[in-house]
Structure 1
Amino acid sequence: MNYIRKTLNWTAATLLPLAFIACTDHMDDPTSQKMMITVENVLDSRPLVESGTFKGVGTPPVILPGESVTIKFSAAKGEALTYATMYGWANDLFFAPVNPGIQVYQADGTPIEGDVSSQIKLWDNGTRINKAPGKTVMHPGVTDSQNIKEVKGVDAQGNTYLPASSMMQATLKYDGSSYFTLTLKNMTGGTANETPFSPGVWAVSYIVGGNLLNPAPLYTMDQPTANGMTSIAEAGDNAPLSNYLTGATGIFTPLSPILVVVYNGIDNPIFKNGENDRGEGLKELAQKGNADPLAAFLMGKPGVKKVYVLPAPTTKVLLPIINGQPGSSVSQELDVVAGDRIAIATMYGFSNDWFFTSMGNGTDATQKGDISTGIKLYDNGTAVDQFPGAGITQFNLAGTPLTESKAIMPVPNPNPFTTLPEINHFIKVTLN
């Protein structure tokens, strides 16, 4: 995957609370011991938020002239849908939008609807010599070794084609809550370029700080074909490219600066499962990654001994594992005594209002080792949920959260949007 950390220069405008360390007025206790808390983002991230396949209804499952298929997907502002399907009666031609794909929002965030066929192009995979297209074309044909090129009316061998937008109609419909349906219709019937379309693949890349993590998931113009596109372009077999996309599809999220609170003689001061947000600052953490309001409130709460907000060096947010590079981590030395407890909180950055936090009454502050089993993902209940990483109202994707008022509850898994990794594959918390 050609996505690296330099694409993540986005934290200046998002998830940037002012980090501070604060404590209430306690004298040092001679019985105290020093503990080091470390929080790591251990998510093995993926660049594609969604991907899938489509096919016709017959046997074989091609899309014949006059037939249509639909693709249902979710997207945030700046994200695009790309797809690929074979021009069936040719040697190695395929239809696909120009990278990065079909744009689905206007600059102001208004969903785009209607005919978007003009964004579709016909491409030559470069792996076969093109014969005259038609029902009698012989597959696979004579081997060639060229880069992927757009077919602009005439291929390299002089065969002619209608514009892609005349052969394939693409219609976009907004279904609400960041969901779209793209309908592809085969319009080649009765033309000189009549052809079936093969089963295909589609994908949507995450956008981070205005940059798509993978702006060319399927092909790159003027580069050799790769990752299974040849199987689609030559034989209409979408399985190899689908397998590749599946491996590149999953979860990507930063974690906001970590709030750590040390307390004694009280219940977990951050929240209680089943209650509505208390209006003490947790909403700002869960929706925007800003822990400062909650930290300021906790500082004055009886029983709270110390409060920390820990940003990662340079990036402020804790980035996940990217291309095998370790995720971000933060550490803080604590002075604790027997009876002290610790709780943490951090935003699931690419959500509407999900946050990781300590369950129940937190963790014994003198306990040593991995305490990640005490962490759970909760829905703050203050913003309407959308597909994580593909929602138009997610604050860290340039959106404005839509208000709701529900009790704080664990995020179900699987949930209506996706299946998440286990908590210990997101966040690791240790005390030593």
Structure 2
Amino acid sequence: MQFVKFKRPLGLLSLMSVLAFSSCSTDDDGEMAVNDSAVITVENIIEGKSLSQSGTFQNAGSSPVLNPGESTSFSFYAGKGQTISFAAMYGNSNDLFFAPANPGIKLYQDNGDPVTGNVSSQIRLWDNGTRVNQPTGPAVTHPGDTEATPKNIIEVALSTPASQLLKAELTFEGGTKFTLKLTNTSGGTANETPISAGVWTVSHSSGSTLVKEDPIFTPGKLSANGLTDLAETGKVTALTQYLTGITGPNSPFSPVLVVVYSGNESPVFKTGENDRGQGLKELSQQGNADVLANFLKTKSGVKEVFVLKDPANTVLKPRIDGKNGGKVSQTISARKGDRIALVTMYGQSNDWFAATTNNGVDGSTRGDISSIMGLFDSGTLVSSYPGAHIGSQPAQTESLPVQQLANPNPFNTLPSLPQMIKVTIQ
């Protein structure tokens, strides 16, 4: 049997040589290795909420009701521009309730100093508009007759002003923490009454604007969201469920720093080690990634550095009213053995940041890597409640090791990182 030798056309051989050369590169050891490109995408998937905090209050005794002479208090966090709102039933009525006028009790003076002391003058009395009003007093029949057609909420006045029936006192606890004490002072007045348990709220702020100025009720509109139960019966369950549903984070993420590197340790930071003075402080405090990016570009073993800014807003905003959150993408060049890391400031904080844990991911990794993201404290500023972190004075500096935050953190429970930030490599 004869074997026939086939010759490849010269053009085909040349093309194969070009393809082979273009798909490979020589590494530092002189070996040929595939040099892959991929697209990394980072998206803010926080479902932005209207309220930073909400809760309930009641008498600490056997009954939740505040009788004349009795007090209760609750603590909360609020930054400059934020206010405190609350509502509680005027017990000797069919559907009246106490609440400050919207957007709530002011917590900081115009010069930035916290408000303290008696703030009772801001308390009003409101008619829920769902029950026919009997004369207020212990003879009121509950629940009473319903209005044939529900009426809009309006402010009402009794012979004794609301501010003399319910006393409100603010104490500033330091940082951005306040305590509000409520005392039933109606005893001996013409309008003596028990006061029910109640609800309270603190809205997120966006710059100088509150995200929700009317979280509990809107004068001139019908009662909604469980307020009727509170105004008619003093029960807080339905309204609390509604408020809980609109309470949570509303944080942006700063421009995202992405770095491709080689080595056994991340060049960005190391847990248990203090800030290196290379730019992590600026990123975690101000969202400025440029300082750290410029340093990393000079560091041995770093192959690529990018700062990804949302084209519309620079920062990556959360999802709001069903609209997608901020999203950035970048083509990177990384192969097996390289490492990929990223870091971005958690905007509603003093110095927290989200980052890939440990030593990032291998350069050949593809798919969703959100599960390896962690939330860290850079240890450069004293932490405060996320979403209520801008107080009357700048946050105090500190010098502590970088640490990954537990969840719950010292202030609240945030969604897990994969529920707040999505990172994919394709």
| TM-score of the two chains, using structure 1 as the length reference | 0.88
1:109–1:392 Cα contact (<8 Å) kept: no
Could you list the per-position Cα deviations for residues 200-229 of structure 1 after superposition, in whole angstroms to 9, with x for gaps in the alignment? 010111111222111111000101110011
Whether 2:122 is the aligned partner of 1:119: answer yes
Deviation at 1:337, TM superposition (A): 3.0
Whether 2:70 is the aligned partner of 1:67: answer yes
The residue type equivalent to 1:148 in the other structure is I
Whether 2:154 is the aligned partner of 1:149: answer yes
2: CA distance, partners of 1:319 / 1:296:
25
Give the root-mean-square deviation of aligned CA atoms.
1.7
Q: Which residue of 1 aligns with 2:315?
A: 317
Residue of structure 2 aligned with 1:200, choices 195, 198, 215: 198
Across the two proteins, how many residue pairs are aligned to each other?
A: 395
Could you list the per-position Cα deviations for residues 306-354 of structure 1 after superposition, in whole angstroms to 9, with x for gaps in the alignment? 1110011211111112222222211001122332211100001001111
1: CA distance, partners of 2:73 / 2:263:
58
Could you list the per-position Cα deviations for residues 5-27 of structure 1 after superposition, in whole angstroms to 9, with x for gaps in the alignment? xxxxxxxxxxxxxxxxxxxxx99
2:175–2:395 Cα contact (<8 Å) kept: no
SS of alignment partner, residue 181 of structure 2: strand
Q: Which residue of 1 aligns with 2:413?
A: 419
1: CA distance, partners of 2:47 / 2:72:
33
1:125–1:148 Cα contact (<8 Å) kept: yes
2: CA distance, partners of 1:232 / 1:259:
48
Residue of structure 2 aligned with 1:344, choices 332, 339, 342: 342
Matches within 5 A, 1:327-366: 327-366=325-364
1:262–1:305 Cα contact (<8 Å) kept: yes
1: CA distance, partners of 2:151 / 2:277:
61
Q: Which residue of 2 aligns with 1:19?
A: none
SS of alignment partner, residue 90 of structure 1: coil
Q: Which residue of 1 aligns with 2:22?
A: none
SS of alignment partner, residue 195 of structure 2: coil
The residue type equivalent to 1:260 in the other structure is V
Could you list the per-position Cα deviations for residues 58-83 of structure 1 after superposition, in whole angstroms to 9, with x for gaps in the alignment? 44421001111112111010111100
Larger Rg: 2
Residue of structure 2 aligned with 1:136, choices 139, 156, 159: 139
Q: Which residue of 2 aligns with 1:77?
A: 80
Q: Which residue of 2 aligns with 1:287?
A: 285
2:281–2:351 Cα contact (<8 Å) kept: yes
Q: Which residue of 1 aligns with 2:189?
A: 191
The residue type equivalent to 2:383 in the other structure is D
Whether 2:410 is the aligned partner of 1:407: answer no
Q: Which residue of 2 aligns with 1:371?
A: 369
The residue type equivalent to 1:97 in the other structure is P
Whether 2:41 is the aligned partner of 1:38: answer yes
Deviation at 1:358, TM superposition (A): 1.4
Gaps of 5+ in 2: 1-26
Q: Which residue of 2 aligns with 1:15?
A: none
SS of alignment partner, residue 57 of structure 1: coil
2: CA distance, partners of 1:237 / 1:299:
60
Q: Which residue of 2 aligns with 1:12?
A: none
**TM superposition outliers: structure 1 runs of 4+ over 3 Å:** 57-60
Whether 2:422 is the aligned partner of 1:428: answer yes
2: CA distance, partners of 1:372 / 1:57:
43
Could you list the per-position Cα deviations for residues 363-392 of structure 1 after superposition, in whole angstroms to 9, with x for gaps in the alignment? 112211111222111110000001111123
Q: Which residue of 2 aligns with 1:236?
A: 234
Residue of structure 2 aligned with 1:91, choices 90, 94, 104: 94
Q: Which residue of 1 aligns with 2:170?
A: 172
SS of alignment partner, residue 280 of structure 1: coil
2: CA distance, partners of 1:195 / 1:389:
36
Q: Which residue of 1 aligns with 2:8?
A: none
Deviation at 1:129, TM superposition (A): 1.6
1:387–1:418 Cα contact (<8 Å) kept: yes
2: CA distance, partners of 1:99 / 1:194:
25
2: CA distance, partners of 1:223 / 1:318:
35
Could you list the per-position Cα deviations for residues 24-49 of structure 1 after superposition, in whole angstroms to 9, with x for gaps in the alignment? xx99x994222000011111222111
Q: Which residue of 1 aligns with 2:296?
A: 298
The residue type equivalent to 2:76 in the other structure is F
* Segment drifting more, 41-50 vs 279-288: 41-50
Q: Which residue of 1 aligns with 2:110?
A: 107
Larger relative contact order (C-alpha < 8 A, sep ≥ 6)? 1
2: CA distance, partners of 1:413 / 1:77:
26
* Segment drifting more, 59-68 vs 341-350: 59-68
1: CA distance, partners of 2:421 / 2:356:
12
Deviation at 1:267, TM superposition (A): 2.5
